[in-house]
Chain A
Amino acid sequence: MYISLRTKVISLLFVLISSLAFIFNESSTGLIQEKTREIFQQRIELLLASIRSYWDSEKNMLLNNAILYAESEKIINYSTYGLNNMLQREMERLIAKTGFYDLEMTLVNGQIVSSNQYASRRGLPIDLHDTRQNLSWITLQFIDDELFIRAEVPVHKLGEFIGRLALRRKLDDIRLKRMARNLQAEVSLAVKEKLVASSLVEGGRQAMANEHFQNNDRKEDIFNLKIGSTVFSIGRVILEKTVESDPVLLYLAVSQDKMLSLLEEARSQNFSLTIWVLVATLIFSIIFSEKVLISRIRQIRDGANIIAEGDLSFQISSVSGDELGNLARSFNRMASNLKQNQDRLQHYIERIETLANYIQNILGSLRTSVITWSMSGYIETANNAAIEEFSDIFSALEGLSLHSFVKKFKKQSRREFFKALRHLGDSGDWQFDIEFEQGEHAGTKVLQGNFSRLLDNDKKPYGFILTLNNITQRKIIEQQLYHADKLSSLGQLAASVAHEIKNPLASIKTLGQLLQEETEDDDSRREYIDVIVSEVNRLNGVVEQLLRYARPEGSSFCEVVFEEVIRPVLALVHHESDRHQVELKPEYRGDLKVYVDPEKIKQVFLNLIFNAIQSMEKGGKIFIRAFREPDSPWTVFEIEDTGCGMSAEVTRRIFEPFYTTRQRGTGLGLAIVKKIIDLHGGKIEVSSEAGKGTKFKFYLPGRQER
């Protein structure tokens, strides 16, 4: 799976920093938790310690209020003058809305007036001899499951003791809730096994009562208690003892909710901070990776791409002193070395290419075909000459197997080919000829070849080389030479015979003419005499042609406009062509010039056109074309008819002297044509198809090539 470097770097940075952030977050949260719990514990301890102060202040406040009330003039007067109802009303008024439970005046005579009792009651008279009656004190009363704090002070009028005033505060739920508000903690009071009052709500109160009932002899001062879904830290302290010496236990309950919420808030803040840090880190990582890392790596990558595209001159411009800077420097050094190596390599390549081209040119320029074979018998390379030689039978040589290669050779050639191949390792030069048909009407190609070994750098056999030389022309020349020799002998023989025949023919003709003169026209012998003279004339014409063929002739070459050559010929054959209903279609440029012997070339065209006309008994067309082959020294002439055509055998022998297919032909017309063409240094080809027509095509060289 592909993961980009940027992703890796960002991921790595992100993972690293997020791990660090997570660790810091966890450790800081843990530390905060620990410190918060510690502070919370300290707060409980502090609250427990402050409870006593608070309790003392409560008692002092109660006592001070009792003293204040005891100093009230109305209280004193009403008490003194028996205005009990007024006293009760005044006391009721005094403690109204103060939160005190009651105010009670005990007169010396034992009469007790209480703020919450409309009727006074009678108690024991106060013992005036008891000096304690002049003292103030505070007590805790546990009456009917209710707890009171009672401050009692003496009341004097003008220095005379008139009674004692008691101010009570009921330590009930309301009072404890006020206390709880001041202390910011839930407070409960328990006496004996009963929970007297509590600032807790009913569920909490019940749980606290159960806790107290079951564990009122608990040893530790601070413990945890789950009330409902809230966990409270409970601090326990013995406040005081009641007048019956029962200890009054105060339970201080501080909900851990706030602490937990603070912890949660701290955790949340830490988490938020961590998230922000992570986001910032991610952004920083992206920017860092982009600005510091990726952009520089991208620069190096782009540089590598540029170098890959071939521009080895590229150098990274801004190079810093860090690792990437070292990498950039190394890259620049690599690019420089690559550049040098490339230059050197380019030089070598150029040399090798030059050499290869040179060799290729040699091979390509060779007229000898060179084909290399692998040891497995497949053609690996072939030069241009080989490709050209075999282009008629193979569209491509490379990859061709040995058997495929030889399949189209003549049987004798295949035999010689394999025989030479078997003797490849022997000393001596095993030459052999390969013959194969180039195609229909194209004749046989003859190549002379031999095998040689192809060795590698270690002189080990790598394959073998087949070199071939085209000797087809040589074979043809050899055959033509043979034929020419035969013709030459025949010409000489014919010339000597003709010379020997010509003289008696002249005598016969002379005598025949004399007989014509001497014989009357109506003489019956006259007809015989005329036949004699006519046949002598024809025989004399044959002899003349024979002598013309055999006679070595001088030539008179000159550059003429082709039209001047062909026009008299066309005029000459016009009558004959019309007679045979043959249409002559000359096709040539009017400015075409040829360097020929005009009289002889006229003879060529005359012979060829006459032959063509005679081949078309029922009329037809004769195309006479002349043009210069582009990029060639040859001027090409074509005489093409739509006549009866010729067989292959006739075509092959058509230029032989005395070979004719007509009854009255001499067999010398086309022989003379070929002789004239040869005299011009040209060549003539014939192609014919029975029933469709014949085309003679001859090539004449230009002036400078002659």
Chain B
Amino acid sequence: MRKNLLLPIFALLLLIQLIASPVAAATRVFLCSRLEFTPALLDMLRRSFSRKLGINDTIILQPLDRSSNVDLDASGSLVLIEHGMDTSFLPEGYSRANNHIDLVWALVASMRIPGLPITQPVDGERFAALLRDLKQQSPERYPWFESLNSRVTLRNFDVLFSASARPDNNAAPAVASAAEQAFWQQSDAIIYLYRAIEEHLLNPFSIEADLGLAMNVFEADDAMFVSQWIPAEFLDDERLCRENLGKVRLLPFPVFSNQKYLRIRLCLYSQPTQNLNTAEEVHEPDDRFIDLDYVADMEWIEKKSADRYDALIIGGF
């Protein structure tokens, strides 16, 4: 009886809602990138996209598999393509717009944990100390979590370590054996991660975790640190992250004294008929970022990621 009443009421409410509010226009945006887009990342990307293009419409972001035969023309959609990717698959008429969205790879530190006041970027040593403190406070828990099952993540660490662990004048004196060094002192990303796992600072389940799981673990407060892709603009205003990541602090991944973020750029492609509120793109050099090379990265992923992943599991360093 009650069910019978509820159905017409719902239908009536839906009808009233449809009549009361005009059907909102939707902008469909296809995403082509190396990244796996988790719901949280898509949400952040959507907000960023909306802010950047001044779109008040509903934005539907849809990751696009290049192998799929999507009729972009018929859909009249926008396309965000990672810089460096082949755009030949785009239907005729699509051209690059003067706009892009940058995504950076940062270490996200939870500010929900009491006694973790991080006010400024930390270096590798400080990061290790924080990890150890946290581990000591909750021995049954792991303070750090990564999505190491993701080849992109492995590549990120590889690039970061390659860029940051380069010997310079401020570097610590070289140690003969890797086993004698603390994990944070390792210059090889895999060894670094392996040793962090061994020291129960990095959750070993990270090896099996993808980016989505990693974000969930962080969001569930089962880890205090996690590396995440976030829109570059969030770096300047961490409050933007709170909706998706909670109260966090965004840090350059603390490899030695690294102060840079890895960055990829998603370039906007559209059809000429689409009038986009885009400002003229200004190309200014920014030394806060390390721009990833799509082609090189994909080549690494294709050729080396499997071995590196195996090495991470097997260890023996």
Residue numbers of A with Cβ under 8 A of B are 77-78, 80-86, 89, 107, 109, 111
Contacts and interface: CB of A to CB of B under 8 A. Distances in A.
B220 A81 contact: no
Nearest to A111: B140
Given A86-B216, A109-B140, A80 B221 contact: no
B52 interface: no
Interface residues of B, dominant DSSP:
loop
B222 A83 contact: yes
A83 B204 contact: no
A540 to B, nearest CB: 160
B142 interface: yes
A84 B222 CA distance: 7
Contacts of B204: 81
Contact of B222 (A80, A85, A107, A111): A85
Nearest to A77: B205
B142 A81 contact: yes
Nearest to B221: A85
B200 to A, nearest CB: 9
A78 B142 CA distance: 11
8 contacts: A77-B208, A78-B205, A81-B205, A82-B203, A83-B205, A84-B222, A85-B221, A111-B140
Nearest to A85: B220
A674 B169 CA distance: 217
A111 B222 CA distance: 15
A82 B140 contact: yes
Contacts of B221: 85
B205 A80 contact: yes
A86 B221 CA distance: 8
A134 B203 CA distance: 27
Given A109-B140, A111-B140, A82 B222 contact: yes
A165 B12 CA distance: 46
Interface string B137-148: 000111000000
B217 interface: yes
B114 to A, nearest CB: 14
Contacts of A107: 140
A684 to B, nearest CB: 132
Interface in B213-229: 216-217, 220-222
B112 to A, nearest CB: 11
Contacts of A83: 203, 205, 217, 220, 222
Interface of B: 140-142, 203-205, 208, 216-217, 220-222
Candidate in A82, A85, A111 with the most chain B CB atoms within 10 angstroms: A82
A350 to B, nearest CB: 99
Contacts of B220: 83, 85-86, 89
Given A80-B205, A81-B203, A81-B204, 17 more contacts: A77-B205, A77-B208, A78-B205, A82-B140, A82-B142, A82-B222, A83-B205, A83-B217, A83-B220, A84-B140, A84-B141, A84-B222, A85-B221, A86-B222, A89-B220, A109-B140, A111-B140
A77 B210 CA distance: 14
A85 B216 CA distance: 10
**Which of B203, B216, B220, B221 is most buried by chain A, counting CB atoms within 10 A of its CB?**
B220
A86 B218 CA distance: 9
Contacts of A82: 140-142, 203, 222
A83 B141 CA distance: 7
Contacts of A86: 216-217, 220, 222
A440 to B, nearest CB: 120
Nearest to B205: A81
Nearest to A81: B205
Q: Counting chain B CB atoms within 10 Å of each CB, which of A84, A86, A109 scores highest?
A: A86
Select the residue from A83, A86, A107, A109 with max chain B CB neighbours within 10 A. A83
Contacts of B142: 81-82
Contacts of B205: 77-78, 80-81, 83
Contacts of A78: 205, 222
Residue from B140, B216, B217 whose CB has the most chain A CB atoms within 10 Å: B140
B312 to A, nearest CB: 15
Contacts of B140: 82, 84, 107, 109, 111
Nearest to B213: A86
Contacts of A77: 205, 208
Nearest to B207: A81
B14 to A, nearest CB: 24
B128 to A, nearest CB: 19
A83 B203 CA distance: 9
A80 B205 CA distance: 8
A268 B174 CA distance: 103
A107 B220 CA distance: 19
Contacts of A109: 140
A408 to B, nearest CB: 116
B126 to A, nearest CB: 23
A89 B141 CA distance: 16
A630 B73 CA distance: 150
A78 B217 CA distance: 10
B201 to A, nearest CB: 12
B45 to A, nearest CB: 24
A98 B307 CA distance: 44
B137 to A, nearest CB: 13
B218 to A, nearest CB: 10
A432 to B, nearest CB: 125
Nearest to B140: A82
A113 to B, nearest CB: 10
A86 B222 CA distance: 7
A310 to B, nearest CB: 83
Contacts of B217: 83, 86
A78 B204 CA distance: 11
A498 to B, nearest CB: 157
A78 B221 CA distance: 13
Contacts of A111: 140
Nearest to A82: B141
A85 B140 CA distance: 12
A223 to B, nearest CB: 35
A437 B120 CA distance: 183
Nearest to A80: B205
A359 B282 CA distance: 171
Contacts of B222: 78, 82-86
Contacts of B141: 82, 84
A86 B141 CA distance: 12
Nearest to A73: B208
A21 to B, nearest CB: 42
A37 B152 CA distance: 75
B198 to A, nearest CB: 14
A615 B45 CA distance: 177
A397 B142 CA distance: 158
Contacts of A85: 220-222
Contacts of A84: 140-141, 222
B184 to A, nearest CB: 21
A77 B205 CA distance: 7
A77 to B, nearest CB: 6
A111 to B, nearest CB: 6
A651 B204 CA distance: 186
A252 B204 CA distance: 53
A85 B217 CA distance: 8
Nearest to B200: A82
A85 B222 CA distance: 6
Contacts of B208: 77
A111 B140 CA distance: 9
B281 to A, nearest CB: 41
A80 B142 CA distance: 11
Contacts of B203: 81-83
A89 B220 CA distance: 8
A78 B205 CA distance: 8
Which of B142, B203, B221, B222 has the most chain A CB atoms inside 10 A of its CB?
Answer: B222
A57 to B, nearest CB: 29
